[in-house]
Each structure stands twice: as C-alpha cells, then as structure tokens.
Amino acid sequence: MADARQLTIIKVFRKYSHSLGPDALQFLEEILESHDIADDDVEFSVETIAREYNKQDDATMKVSLDILRRVYDALQDQGNAGEAEELLDPNSHLYFVDAFEMPPWHWSQERGTFEKSSSPLTVAGSADSRIAAVRNRLHIIKQSILRNEHFSPSTLPSRDREHLVTLKSTKQLLGRANERFLLLGMLVHNKEGKLCVEDADGSVELDLSKMDEPGEGLYTEGCFALVEGEYTEDGILEVVAMGQPPCEDRETARSIYGHIDFLGQGLTSLLEDSQFARRIREELSDLYFFFLSDVWLDNPQTLVGLQKMFDNCIENNFIPKVIVMCGNFTSKSISQGGGRDIQRYQENFDSLADLIASYPQITRETRFVFVPGPLDITGSGALPRRPILSTFTTNLRNKIPKVYFTSNPCRLKFFGQEIVIFREDTMARMLRNTVGVKPNVTGEDLRRYLVQSILDQSHLTPLTTHIQPVLPDFDHALRLYPLPTAVILADKYEKYKLTYSGCHVFNPGNFVGNSFSFSTYCPAERSSEEG
C-alpha cells in the first residue's frame, strides 16, 4: 500500500495528466529525502518539479526518468545561480501590448491545447471566425472546469468519487426525460424569445420558475453558465440551480500553458516569476503606476487637477514609472460633431501636451499611456478599439518622448505580471442585459458580482455580439486566460477595488467627478490605493 508521500506525489502529477512508473516515483522520493523535505512541504516541492516537467517539449504522459533527472538538474542550477544578481532594470522588463499585436492563440479540440493561428487577421472577420470566437470561449472554460477538483476524478481510491459532478451535452438529453443533468453552455434567447442554454451540440429551452436563486454573479445574454435541472417530456430543462464556471487561478493555468507566449513579449517560467516577485519587493518597492479614467480634457478643471497631481509628484519626489490615462477624453460625444468640435478636441490634447512638457523630470522619466474610451475618435465602435487617431495626438508625440497610444483594451507586461486595462461602461451594460433573474444586490455585493462574472467567464465582455460588437478575429485580445495579475475595469461607475482568485481588480473612477481622484498600483504589493 502506498504511503502518504507516494499518494501526494501521484496526485500532483495526476493533476498535469502524467502517470508515474516505479522508477520515477522512487527518484522523486529520493529527492525529497535528500533535501529533508517535511511532510507539510511535500506537495509544494513536487508541484515545482511537476510544473517544470510539464513544460518540456519532449515530456511524455508516462513520466520519463531521463527527462525528470534533467528537470531536477536544471532546477538545482537555477537555485545556485542567484548569488551575484545585478539590480533589476524595470525599463527592460516593461512592455505595452496592443490588442491588434497579440498573437492569435486558439483552442484546438483535436490536440487538447492552444494552437497559434496562421490565418491572416482582418477587421471584417468571417463567418468561420465568428463561430470560432464563441467556441474558443466555451472550450477554454470547459477544459479548466474539467480540471477542477469537483469535476476531475482522482486515480486513487476515494470516497470523494461519489460526489463528483459530471458535465453532459445537450445531445445527451434526447430520450431521457425525467432525468437530471448538468450542462455548460451559453445563455441566449431563441427565435421565439425563450431563454436557452446552447453548447457545441445544440440548445435546450430553460424554465427558471422552480429555481430559488442563481449562484453569485451577473448572468447576461452571452455568458456561459453551469445549469442543473430536470429534462421534461416537453423538451424543456426545469432549472433547479445555476452558477458561474469556477475560476482557475493564474498559477495553475501558467503551470500548464507556461510554454505559450500569449502576449508575444517573451516567456518567463513560474520559477523566474517567483524570483522576480521577491526581487521586486526588495528592490522596487517604491515603484508605482498611476491610473486615471474619464480624463475630460474639455473640462477646465481637468488640467487643474493634473497640474495638482504633477506638483505633488515633484514636491514629494514621487515620480511614477507609468501614468495610464483612460478616456473618455471628452465629456460628450463628438463623432457626429461639426468641424469646430473636432478642432477643439485636438486643441485639448495640445494643451495636455504643453502641461506635461512643463514638468521636465516627469516627461523624462515617466511613460504615458493613452487608452481610448467609448466616446473618443478611434475609427471603430467594435471591440477591441483602435488607438486615438494620430491626427489628434501629434503634439503629444512630439513633446513627450515616452508616450504610447494603445488599443482598448491593452495590456501592460512587467516582469512576470500581466495587467489588463479596459475602458468601458461595463457595470451598466452588464446590468442592462442580465437574463432570467436580476441580482437583488447593491453596493459592495454588486461590485463583487461584476468582478466575479468577468473573471469566471475569462472574458472582458461576456455578452452576445449584437449587444457588444466584437471583431471576431481579435476576440482573443479580450480573453482573460490565463488569469491576469491585475485588471483595471475603468468605468463611469463608482470606484472600487477587490481581489478575486488572486487577481486584483479596480476601477479608478471619474477623475474630475471625484475631486481629481485616481488609483496607484504597486507591483511590489500587487495592490492598488486611491491616489
């Protein structure tokens, strides 16, 4: 009978779909013994080895002893190489990633992993790409669900096997009336206006009359939900429970897909990420990013507020590494405005350029990032949005050497951290499009529901395309998988901050409307504070 250590080792490798032979199991036990690993630390230690093994290009499902030895030797070498470390250079590990430059990784059902698309991407997209965008969302959520402890059976004998939940497909309902099923699918309305759940095999109408209350979260048309109920003779699923898909934390996803460069800016291993995190805390604890939203340049108070912010930075010798300004940069839409409105829009950016340039130290040291809002002139109303048209930002480009005009959304990569920046009125749009049941909550619970829904859905806009138009070839740029380190949901809704499943989410709020308020993010602490 296997002892507790062996069971732990087997369990960890099983999580990564690997099986262990006697030789590999004995080798791992010898490693634990030679390093005097305590029983409480066995799982953590084996997890480190299993992750690195899983990243090897030649890794086999049955663990190879030769590859395992190579992984162990490499980990030892990394552990001994950190004695003469140079100071971290934050500039060489800071990247701004435009949505239109992210490599298109799509889920391959045949290979059971992500595969880079070789097809040329177009703004118009195609019928196939529209279908693929939705199926990608479904399969990415489903593969993480099947890895969840409540759905994934263990290879070890256990009483817990009796409590495992089994997902079914809509095609498995046929001819099985009066049986209970659990489905994963998208909530949509059919042509008759009836609420249905739709998966890759079909759809079934839902009856929510017998459900007391759904699980926490916002259930919108276009979101994926776990729906449990009894299938009736009339071909309707009488729902008794409905919930959001469980969220997979960043570390788990990275441990499996750490060999995939989702951002196209180079890879770091989980071990490197942890080393960087430690060194950032030690060496860059005073480094900050500023985030502002609704910087209405047509409001005279905005430049006053920015001047006050810059003055405080200089007086306190507190120069941020990055200042991200999110739209809207106008308080009213000018997409249908006259020539004078458009000229004033450009003049407002010119005034901002003059203000920033009047602070030489900030101009020299700080990187400025501009993210367009729904009212800004970008040339596209669908997501992701293009950067602000360059004709309006000539002076900013000329006067500020480190300025970036990005898409909406965009991403900031800092060492092993990924920060997603998204400017949209997400709360209002989600609440307008909830289906079946309305959340009877307000305030803090409502904010938590929003964040939970966005992260559980692994997508910034879990809505149908007729509610929120999306460029299908670039839907991957809206994806939140693997889970980012932080997400900025810049919104006209009141400001908030919270952490869910290890991901820190915050809304800086309206800059002018909140007495020049903004948020500061500290990479060393992976948290934000009100500025």
Of 428, 410, 391, 427, the residue nearest 325 (C-alpha): 410
Domain topology for 263-424+460-530: Purple Acid Phosphatase; chain A, domain 2 (3.60.21)
Q: Where are the domains of the chain?
A: 4-80, 263-424+460-530
pLDDT averaged over the chain?
A: 91
In this prediction, residue 456 carries a pLDDT of 98
The DSSP 8-state label assigned to residue 193 in this structure reads S
Burial (CB count within 10 angstroms: exposed 0-12, middle 13-18, buried 19+), residue 325: buried
Joined together, the tokens standing for residue 529 give 């504070």
Rounded to whole angstroms, the maximal C-alpha distance in the chain is: 82
Query: How many Å from the N-terminal Cα to the C-terminal Cα in the chain?
Result: 59
Residue carrying structure tokens 């776990």: 226
pLDDT tens digits, 202-214:
999 999 999 988 8
Cα separation, 140 vs 112, in Å, equals: 10
Calculate mean pLDDT across residues 222-231: 96
Cα separation, 517 vs 435, in Å, equals: 34
User: 263, 97 in Cβ contact below 8 A?
Assistant: yes
In this prediction, residue 437 carries a pLDDT of 64
Q: pLDDT tier at 272 (50, 70, 90 boundaries)?
A: confident
DSSP letters for 151-191: TS--SS--GGGGG----B-GGGGTT-TT-EEEEEEEEEE-T
Partnered with residue 207 across adjacent β-strands are 238
Give the pTM: 0.85
Burial (CB count within 10 angstroms: exposed 0-12, middle 13-18, buried 19+), residue 2: exposed
Q: Output the CATH code of domain 4-80.
A: 1.10.8.60
Calculate mean pLDDT across residues 232-248: 96
Calculate mean pLDDT across residues 498-517: 92
pLDDT tens digits, 91-128:
999 999 999 999 999 999 999 999 999 899 999 999 99
Q: How many CB atoms lie within 10 A of CB 52?
A: 23
pLDDT tens digits, 39-94:
888 888 888 898 888 878 777 888 999 899 988 988 887 666 544 467 899 999 99
